[in-house]
A and B are shown apart, each in its own frame.
Chain A
């Protein structure tokens, strides 16, 4: 946006961050939680969720909006983990094994998602959201009916009592916090999973480097204007598919990192909320459908998850029921996505009006140095 930054304009451009910051600051005192506890929870949740949220950046960069189809990558990661548990591959090797197994599945899923989104240009977000539901049905069919029958499962402990189908909760004891504990640093009572943060830092460096490559610049051009990019000789459809494939693969790895921290897998549900929480986090961090940065990711994860930590306790202390806090959390989570999308549409309209006013101003505006 061009022109002077007035307080009103600062508020409209950062409304979501300001609202969330206010809510969080207001909720901390009634929650009764200590600052060291909140700090430790933040560190843990940053390590757990940041990778998933970073996976959203490239599709935004390529002009495809918020990739609700990242759920497909999450499902791929879970399938990798199921096989790692089945074959009893433990520790960090188990996580890497799950990631390697999940990679070709997530590449295929990303290709399918990208091909479908190319047929729904301009409606990528809702198409990705619905596609995730559809693929979820296939995933549940495979995991509930084919595993143990068509797909051999040698570990009876992960099968349902009927003899086929994976149990609804898988214990990840063999890989639990393997990455977090690989290099765990202790500072003043806080435990920092250094290895996890190193992996996240590596992804951030990859994204920074990728944006400077030809493919990254092609994605930027496609995100800016598909018609101009096509005219420039960029294969728009292919570039968009690659963006979604990379995002899906990163979501696969992110889900594995998430689940190793949690320590168990809700086989049929764990992936449901993946895209929702990741999208909510990046929007809370100040990103929009068209523009997002690495800073938005970390700001959003911190703000969203501080609220998630303090709101149930604040709800319990204020209203006498922790379920109020849970309801509040769900309401805020969906609400922030809706608020961000509405604000984005409103800001686009305001900016378009401002440019029109500038054109109507004509010579007088030009003499004063352009539109404000």
Chain B
């Protein structure tokens, strides 16, 4: 390759490498977002249409220790990612493994155990709480944007907050 050809090839190669880095960066962002997105699964053992609630069932999420559910119970599990495995142990000792997929755009989904065991439609549905109150702030007025102590002050006992 002549000197002139090399000279013109170098900026082009540089831009190709930069473009590739940009693509890798965006791809990493997407992968981390998809795999790291947190969801809440509400595990529901209630009557669902023609499917009655189970008297007693043990449900474990993604290999975690099973949680007991009696008829009418509902509990939540915090999960990460979209694909999850539910290990369901029935009252007679039968163990069933079921897989669910949580839609990426949904923060919270309701999983109906009776429907899931019956492989019926609607076993996993989005759930939107009616009123979501923001959590209480950690000390002080929620509209303040100054804090009295710095980030490394955890060794010092907190001074009592002034009454508003």
Contact = CB atoms under 8 A, between A and B. Distances in A.
Contact of A161 (B36, B134, B156): B134
Given A144-B145, A160-B142, A168-B140, A273 B36 contact: no
B99 interface: no
A97 B138 contact: no
B137 A97 contact: no
Nearest to A99: B32
Given A144-B145, A162-B143, A308-B152, A93 B135 contact: no
B145 A89 contact: no
A262 B134 contact: no
Contact of B139 (A169, A269, A272): A169
A168 B157 contact: no
Contact of B137 (A93, A140, A169): A169
A96 B32 contact: yes
B32 A168 contact: no
Interface footprint category on A: 35 or more
Contacts of A262: 151, 154
A256 B145 CA distance: 20
B151 A90 contact: no
Given A273-B150, A312-B156, A161 B142 contact: yes
A97 B80 CA distance: 14
B147 interface: yes
B152 A140 contact: no
B interface, by DSSP: helix, strand, loop or mixed? Answer: loop
B119 interface: no
Nearest to B135: A157
A97 B134 contact: no
Interface string A239-269: 0000000000000000000110010101111
A171 B36 contact: no
B30 to A, nearest CB: 10
Contacts of A156: 132, 134
B127 interface: no
Interface in A192-233: none
A268 B148 CA distance: 11
Nearest to A159: B134
A278 B67 CA distance: 46
A118 interface: no
Contacts of B139: 169
A167 B137 contact: yes
Given A157-B135, A169-B138, A269-B151, A89 B146 contact: no
A322 B25 CA distance: 48
A270 B142 contact: no
B36 A322 contact: no
A88 B142 contact: no
B62 interface: no
Contact of B147 (A88, A268, A323): A268
Contact of A168 (B37, B146, B156, B159): B146
A90 B36 CA distance: 5
Interface of B: 25, 28-29, 32-33, 35-39, 78, 80, 107, 132, 134-135, 137-140, 142-147, 150-157, 159
A-B pairs with the 7 shortest C-beta distances? A93-B36, A90-B38, A89-B36, A273-B150, A97-B32, A169-B138, A88-B38
